[in-house]
Structure 1
């Protein structure tokens, strides 16, 4: 009996091992080189332990193979993926060969039944549905519309200054948490610009908006486990989809959008002339044009809210970090700002994007902590691509192709002294575009699916930096780490241990 039990257990172990490893021959059969995967974790040994961010596992593969190949095969758990090593090939994926890489991998993980809001976000939409949504949304994010809400931006910047003053008087020994400060700013900014409402983020009684938005990005353990299970059993994605945005968050924002629309309609009904043609105005126009329900309008609104909340706050928080670390760079930026202030103490909209050193500081920050450290694209049309010293690779529809932006942006072959914060590398005219055309700097993507909220995000970030640097000397609090280690558990790349800063008001 004991022998039989042992034999059955051995058989189960053998079958389990066979299941965990039988996909591992996928790339070998296609003569695509790559590192040997391990059971359970594939090529990401820290997938479950989270001892370090997955970026570093990817970077190890990138550095090992980039001299010889344009792409290599790797595995996330049992799921095969193709890692792009050549930035020229990355540029082809986003631009020249866009028809073969039209969609993002996340599109396979959600649908309207599992996550209505995310399924209606352009990032997850496919094919013609994505094209139509982009056509609808793009006119709402023109520079003229962004300019129209710029006075709101300046009002929120003033609230930011008052909040920092108030918190600095309290004198917390750990300083201010730069990420929390930035989230307060972006929550207030986006909520007002998109919905015409105040989140009251800088008051003692804020609305639940910021906490609800944080719930979107601070994912639960259940969600993380589900992602891991899907990596182990990819076939599950055809049976069951993921919910990224919690149900209570979806209900909250549907109600919020309804409140904003009702308030705007009441103002219009009594003949009140609204003094700005904002994003809510445009969303309501879309609603009338397409006869959209409140839930559908909420999905449109969440495209603006999600894309402008966490990622923008992350860039802003790290920009303040780097400026606080280097007094000379901070003063150089302050001098540029002072030379362009108007009588009201802020930089006019038409000048904001023409401050070269301010733009360089933002772009260099994005190089260190990009909104997306990698892009997972889906092959949508069969294509043959060269592979350096290896044979040509035939990529079949459904293949996940990973473009590791973070690896390119930390590569000394493309950026001298990549671990140093050096804004001057972006001081040449159109430097960011030049890097993007080379495929080594695609912080907001590239090609037809480039982030349409990029200009709005950059305006928010730059306006806040102008406000803070003009009014305060920003210093590093001793609680902040000195290196740039990425938080191992963070969905978006951020500094491990958070960013703690001290603010000394300038006289």
Structure 2
């Protein structure tokens, strides 16, 4: 090939690419939808990419620019996204016209079957069938079955802190602590594996979890690539989770199911519930791969997302001593009424604890935005007065900015203030409260997550006092490099054993009685 021909081909390709990108970045201008002028290739993500602003703050800033719009345009790099502000329209999209917007945009490619088969990644009728099968596993009665397992983990967690922090107190990175608690909870409730991540901090379950869900480094980059360049990651067969991680979870689930089938063991956990589904359906839907996929996403949510929410919860309790004292009074009252034996009914009747957890999830929802993908053509009303309706085509991304809605003074008075009382006086409208999502796609395990958080806080305040440390950032600021909401500089707090709390020796803790069918996983 002559040099001139090669140069002509390269120039033609560059011009074609330029006009392709330009056409994408003119999408909202052509439709006259409110938006912020994008930067080539980076779209509206530049402040986050250059670490000038966290992703959640970036979305919040643009949200505040268009207070009278029903929705506005946002460029996720070169991908146009409709960000819905109007709560009536949010309900129309996520509930009334759910069939038009029933899918998520997945964060892994087709090469990773274990993750693609889970409830979050499934789409269309396959998702509907799986959701219908799994829903009975997350009823209140099933949560009550797992309540004792969660309490064991929380008791172990709080006893460890009572002994180690002592009367003098000790400063901790709460993310590291609460990841260990969350690891133990999910290991026992989802996989039937008993681990003690406080006495054995390098147990395999915890180490694998940290490798799989370390969103401060490689995982965050892979999440970004999969969401924005799925064809690229598919062609290069790039994986979000390593074969080692997939093999570990498949072996755990496969061995557990085999032992229980052979020995007739019953245990109140997720694997047992899915085995029951398998048996009812004669194995036609639920094989080992399916059980592994659902257990894995349960671990994903419980290990990372819920542990982060618990960090925000602990932070607000520490920096608001009046709220901590009021909550501890409720805890002490429950302990008196139950003779020191917490019950499922007692914790669910704790109104102030419920309000504190709900207010934390309002200030810091699990996700800064909820996403939907259009699967059927849909007409949006005009974005602004005197505007024109917009026809949304299949494949178009829709975002519901849950964090921004939760901080909108139109819906919440003093939205940046931590005020649990707003959930006690009837101020909160459920249609503008969406920490676990909204509509049929709402998180299926939200009851479990709430129980895990409440049990943790109950045991922690029962035995410890929480205080800010010199490393604690007040007010809270978000990390500029994490795709998910994280605290800038970490979640540092000082913990100190309460004077009235008698410490439990490590010998007592290491001799906990196992549950029938529960395996021990120590080094």
Q: After TM superposition, is the score higher than 0.5?
A: yes
Q: Which residue in the other structure is 1:204 paired with?
A: 200
| 1:148 and 2:145 are equivalent in the alignment | yes
Superposed CA offset, 1:111-153 (max 9, x none)? 2xx1112201211211110011111211111211111121222
Q: 1:488 aligns with which of 480, 485, 488?
A: 480
Q: 2:462 aligns with which of 463, 470, 488?
A: 470
Q: 2:214 aligns with which of 214, 218, 228?
A: 218
Q: 2:366 aligns with which of 362, 371, 378?
A: 371
* Range with bigger deviation, 257-266 or 418-427: 257-266
Q: 2:349 aligns with which of 351, 354, 359?
A: 354
Kindly indicate whether the alpha-carbon contact (under 8 Å) linking 1:76 and 1:231 is maintained by their aligned counterparts in 2: no
Kindly report which structure 2 residues correspond to 1:335-350, keeping only aligned pairs within 5 A, or say none.
335-341=329-335, 342-350=337-345
Change (3 A) 1:220 1:15: farther
Across the aligned residues of Structure 1 and Structure 2, the Cα RMSD in angstroms comes to: 2.9
| 1:441 and 2:438 are equivalent in the alignment | no
Q: Which residue in the other structure is 1:188 paired with?
A: 184
TM-score calculated relative to the size of structure 2: 0.86
Superposed CA offset, 1:294-341 (max 9, x none)? 333211221322232222211111111101111110010011112222
Kindly indicate whether the alpha-carbon contact (under 8 Å) linking 2:465 and 2:496 is maintained by their aligned counterparts in 1: yes
Change (3 A) 1:237 1:4: closer
Quick one: distance in 1 between partners of 2:448 and 2:402? 22
Q: Which residue in the other structure is 1:246 paired with?
A: 242
In structure 1, runs of 5+ residues without a counterpart are none
In structure 2, runs of 5+ residues without a counterpart are 501-523
Q: Which residue in the other structure is 2:521 paired with?
A: none
| 1:328 and 2:319 are equivalent in the alignment | no
Q: Which residue in the other structure is 1:96 paired with?
A: 96
- Structure 2 residue matching 1:34: 3-state secondary structure: coil
Tell me by how many angstroms 1:4 deviates.
13
Tell me by how many angstroms 1:497 deviates.
1.0
- Structure 1 residue matching 2:46: 3-state secondary structure: coil
Tell me by how many angstroms 1:21 deviates.
2.3
Quick one: distance in 2 between partners of 1:385 and 1:237? 32
Instruction: Work out which structure has the larger RCO, using CA pairs closer than 8 Å and 6 or more positions apart in sequence.
Output: 2
* Range with bigger deviation, 322-331 or 163-172: 163-172
Quick one: distance in 1 between partners of 2:5 and 2:251? 61
Kindly indicate whether the alpha-carbon contact (under 8 Å) linking 1:94 and 1:445 is maintained by their aligned counterparts in 2: no
TM-score calculated relative to the size of structure 1: 0.89
* Range with bigger deviation, 293-302 or 83-92: 293-302
Quick one: distance in 1 between partners of 2:5 and 2:52? 40
* Range with bigger deviation, 393-402 or 51-60: 51-60
Kindly indicate whether the alpha-carbon contact (under 8 Å) linking 2:48 and 2:480 is maintained by their aligned counterparts in 1: no
Quick one: distance in 2 between partners of 1:172 and 1:20? 56
Kindly indicate whether the alpha-carbon contact (under 8 Å) linking 1:436 and 1:446 is maintained by their aligned counterparts in 2: no
- Structure 2 residue matching 1:391: 3-state secondary structure: coil
Q: Which residue in the other structure is 2:507 paired with?
A: none
Kindly indicate whether the alpha-carbon contact (under 8 Å) linking 2:154 and 2:456 is maintained by their aligned counterparts in 1: yes
* Range with bigger deviation, 334-343 or 322-331: 334-343
Kindly indicate whether the alpha-carbon contact (under 8 Å) linking 1:101 and 1:380 is maintained by their aligned counterparts in 2: yes
- Structure 2 residue matching 1:35: 3-state secondary structure: coil
Tell me by how many angstroms 1:47 deviates.
4.1
Kindly indicate whether the alpha-carbon contact (under 8 Å) linking 2:167 and 2:497 is maintained by their aligned counterparts in 1: no
Say how many residue pairs are matched: 491
Superposed CA offset, 1:374-432 (max 9, x none)? 01110111111212322212111111001110111111221111221111111135x6x
